[in-house]
Amino acid sequence: MCGIVGYTGKRQAYPVVIKGLKRLEYRGYDSAGVALINEGLKVYKKKGRVTDLEEAAMGENLSGHIGIGHTRWATHGEPSDRNAHPHVSQSGNIAMIHNGIIENYDKLKKDLLAKGYKFKSDTDTEVLLNFIDDIQQNNDCTLEEALRIALRRVVGAYCLLLIHKDDPETIIAARKGSPLVIGIGKDEHFLASDASPIIEYTKEVVYVNDYEIAIVRPDELILKNLGNEKQTPFITRLDMELAAIEKGGYDHFMLKEIFEQPQTIYDCLRGRLDAGKGKVILSGIDQYAQQIMNAQRIIILACGTSWHAGLVAEYIIEELCRIPVEVEYASEFRYRNPIIHKGDVIVAISQSGETADTLVAIENAKEQGAIILGIVNVVGSSISRKSHAGAYTHAGPEIGVASTKAFTAQLTVLTMVALKIAHDKGSVSTERYMHLCQELAAIPEKVELVLEKADEVKALAEKYKDASDALYLGRGYNFPIALEGALKLKEISYIHAEGYPAAEMKHGPIALVTETLPVVFVATKDSYHEKVVSNMQEIKARKGKVIALITEGDTVSAAIADDIFELPQADEIVAPIISTIPLQLLAYYIGVAKGYDVDKPRNLAKSVTVE
C-alpha cells in the first residue's frame, strides 16, 4: 500500500520525486503530495493521481535539493486534499510521509488533544507526526532521537520519511512491516517503497530491516536500531533494467505483462529445469530438501492471487509427493491459534514479498519450529529474508495491479518444487517424472501459441462486456483457475463474478443461471473432463451462456458451448499455467471495452503491506 519516495543530493529533488511517484502509483492513487525544503518547508498535495498534483503545483517554486513524496491508498480518512500526505507538524517544523497503520493512534491523539494540539486531517499519520514533534520540543532532542522514542510507543506497521525545515540535507527514515529501499549514488541518495523509482539512477541499494532507522544525507547513510546502535548497511546490486518498468509500446502494463509470460516462464525455468536429463535444480531449497520430504504436513500461506497458486500447488504436491497439504489465507491463519508442529513446512507465497499478513503468519510459525519456504518475486524482500529457504520466481517487475505474470511464475516454481521433492522422495515413477519435466519445459512455447490468438478473446470480450454477473467453473487442477479467472474479472471490469468447483454448482450457484448469465468453464482434457461436460449440459439446459476453454480437438465440448477458446494439449498438472492466460486476456479486454484504467483498478493497490 502507498508509495513513498525521497531524495537528497545534488539534483533538483522535485523531478526525481514526481517521476518516482509515477513509477509507484500502482501502490496507491487516491492522492499524492510532495514536501521540499526551499527557504523553508514547502508542501504541495492533491486528491487524485500524480498528474493532478503536477497540475496543482504548476507555477510554484519547486526548487530544492531535498524532497519526499507520497502516493496514497487510503486507510485512515477518505481520499481528500486534507488527508493527503505529506503532513506537517503543528509547529511547522517537520513534514512526514507514512505507509502503514498506527493501531494505537487514538490514544496518542487523545493525549495530544489534551495538550492543545489541533489536527487538520483524519489520519493516523498526522497523529504520529505531532507525537514525534511533541517529544522533540519537550525533550530538546534531535529529530532522530525523538523518532526513536516515539517508535517505542507505537503499535502497528510503518515506513516513515521525515524532513526538518532547519536541516536541508537530511532525511530520517524508519520501517517496521512496510518496505523501504535506499539507492546509493555519488553524493546523493534515493529512498522508495521498492526499487522501481531508483533503477534509473543507481543499481546499488540497501534494504532497510524492521526496527531500523536510517539517517540519510547526500554523502552519508547511517543505519541504527531502536537501541541507537549502528548497523552495517548491506549493499545489494539490483538485477533489473529500466525497460522492465516501461510500457514498451503496449497500451497498458497489464497487457505487456500478459504478453511477457512466455519469456518470464522461460526465465523461471532457465538454469533450474533440464528436461532432457530429467533434472530439477533448486539450490534455494537444497539444504531443507530432506526435511520437506519427511514433513508430516505442508501449510501454504498466501493472499489473493497467490492463494490461488497455493490451491493449485496443493493438488500437485499431494498427487506427486504424497504429503498432506493445507492452504490457508494468511490473514485468517495469523489470527487463529493454529496448531504448528516442529518440522511442519510453511510455504509463503507473495509477489511482493512484503504482504503484511503473510509476514506476521510466517514469523509466528517460525517461532513454533516450522520450516519456512518463501516463494517471492522481489529479491531482498522481507519474506525472502525471513524464510529459511525458498525460490525466486524471476518474473521481473509487475506494475499492473492485477497479477498476471507473477501468478504463472508462481505456478511454475511450485510445480518444480513438487517435481524435485517427488523425485528425491521416490513418490513418482521415473517415466512420469521425465514426462512432466518435458511438459513443463514446453509451457513457454504453448503460452506463446495462446497469445497469438488474443484477438479471439478480444471478440469474446466485446460480446460479453455488458454482463452484470459471471460464473467461472472448473474441477481438480482447474478449479483454482476458475477462482483466479473470476477474481481477474472482478478486479479489472468490476463485473460481479464467482468461481466455484463445477460439481458444487448444483449446491446453490445454479440458481443464478439465466439466458443472460455467461458461465466460463475451464474444461481442458483431464481426469475430470467427462464430469465437466455434464456440468456444461446442465447449464445449457437452463439456457445459460457457456464459454468453454477446451483442449484442441475436443469436439464434444465444442458442440455444447456457445463460445470456445482452444488451448494446446498439456498434462493436467501443468495445464493450469496455460489455462489462466485467456482468462487474463478476457478480464483485460472487457475492462478496456468498458473504458476503465485496467492498470489501476479502483480501490486496489499492488501490494498489501497493511492489515
Per-residue pLDDT of 91-111, as tens digits, reads: 999 999 998 888 888 899 999
Domain 3-244 identical in fold to domain 451-598: no
Distance CA 562, CA 474 (A): 17
pLDDT reading at 610 higher than 60: no
Place of cell 498528474: 51
- Give the DSSP H or E segment for 298: strand 298-302
Beta-carbon contacts of residue 243 (< 8 Å; ≥ 6 apart) = none
Rounded CA gap, 539 and 561, in Å?
10
Determine which one of 22, 165, 256, 606 is catalytic. Answer: 606
Do 117 and 126 meet the contact criterion of CB atoms below 8 Å apart?
no
pLDDT tens sequence across 258-299:
999 999 999 999 999 999 999 999 988 888 999 999 999 999
- What pairing do the DSSP bridges indicate for beta strands 563-567 and 469-474? unpaired
Alpha-carbon distance of 178 to 571, in angstroms, equals 40
* Residue 115 annotated among the catalytic residues of the structure: no
Class (C level, CATH) for 251-441: alpha beta
Q: Are 427 and 316 in contact (CB under 8 A)?
A: no
What are the phi and psi torsion angles at 238 (to 5°)? -70, 135
Place of cell 498476471: 404
Looking at residues 571-596, what average pLDDT do you find? 96
- Going by C-alpha positions, the residue among 184, 166, 167 that lies closest to residue 222 is 184
Total Cβ atoms within 10 A of residue 333? 24
**Residues 451-598, CATH architecture:** 3-Layer(aba) Sandwich (3.40)
Q: What per-residue confidence (pLDDT) applies to 126?
A: 92
Question: Residue 262: left (phi > 0), alpha (psi -120 to 50), or beta?
Answer: alpha
Owner of C-alpha cell 531508483: 198
CB contact at 8 A, 525 and 551: yes
Task: Give the integer Cα–Cα distance in Å for 601 and 69.
Answer: 22
Active-site residue flag, 606: yes
pLDDT over 80 (residue 607): no
Query: If pLDDT is split at 50, 70 and 90, which confidence band does 244 have?
Result: low
Q: Are 195 and 396 in contact (CB under 8 A)?
A: no
| Cβ atoms of residues 562 and 545 within 8 Å | yes
**CA nearest to 100, candidates 607, 611, 610:** 610
Q: Yes or no: say if 499 and 491 are a contact pair by the CB < 8 Å rule.
A: no
Contact 507, 494 (CB under 8 A): no
Q: What is the pLDDT of residues 168-220, one digit of tens each?
A: 999 999 998 888 999 999 999 999 988 888 988 998 999 998 899 999 999 99
For 500, the enclosing helix (H) or strand (E) is strand 496-501
Residues 304-358 pLDDT 10s: 999 999 999 999 999 999 999 999 998 888 778 888 888 899 999 998 888 778 8
pTM: 0.78
The dotted CATH code for 3-244 is 3.60.20.10
Q: 434-480 pLDDT, tens per residue?
A: 999 999 999 999 999 999 999 999 999 999 999 999 999 999 999 99
Q: How confident is the model at residue 164 (pLDDT cuts 50, 70, 90)?
A: very high
Proportion of the chain in helix, strand, coil states, percent, rounded to 5: 40, 25, 35
Strongest mean pLDDT among 26-35, 112-121, 511-520: 112-121
Q: Supply 74's cell numbers.
A: 487510503
Q: Which of 2, 159, 268, 303 is catalytic?
A: 2
For the chain, the domains span 3-244, 251-441, 451-598
